[in-house]
Amino acid sequence: MSSRTYAILGIVALAFVVLGILFTVETWVECPHCDGRGYNTRKMTCPQCNGEGTVVVEKKQVCPTCDGTGRILGGLFTCTRCKGTGWIYVTEIETCPKCQGSGYVTVKDTCPYCNGRGGKSVSLWEAWFGG
């Protein structure tokens, strides 16, 4: 481009600024408090295991004494272990399914500065000169 073309472009750019066209052009500014995510994370004690990382689980199993029949000694007597139901409950300790054993869960809180939007739309004038 010639120097005359650059001069004309400079005059046009100045005219845009003077006429306020620059003020109406918008851009997106990322929220500095949440890095544009719209939320912040924090760790808290797991509500399911109270930070222990394990949970006690009761499981229903076939009674091994009567093989699930509820009767023993050829069916003459009621099984005393399962009380005739054919089932027993076994208590086991397992890894907490909510926190995978860590004792903590990550919670997402909506960013109070951008109300979860991750930023805001501002005019170029605001973005460049702060308002």
Same-domain status, 103 and 80: yes
**How many domains are there within the chain?**
2
Q: How far is CA 114 from CA 24, 26, 123, in A?
A: 22, 17, 17
Same-domain status, 122 and 93: no
Confidence of residue 121 (pLDDT cuts 50, 70, 90): confident
Same-domain status, 27 and 49: no
Same-domain status, 89 and 122: no
Q: Helices then strands (H, E): number in the chain?
A: 3, 8
Nearest to 100 by CA among 64, 49, 59: 49
**pTM of the complete model:** 0.52
Same-domain status, 106 and 89: yes
Q: Say how many C-beta atoms besides its own lie within 10 A of residue 120's C-beta.
A: 15
Same-domain status, 65 and 11: no
| Tens of pLDDT, residues 10-62 | 555 555 555 555 555 677 889 999 999 999 999 999 999 999 999 999 999 99
Which pair of tokens denotes residue 14?
Answer: 């100045």
**103: containing domain:** 39-110
| Tens of pLDDT, residues 93-117 | 999 999 999 999 999 999 999 999 9
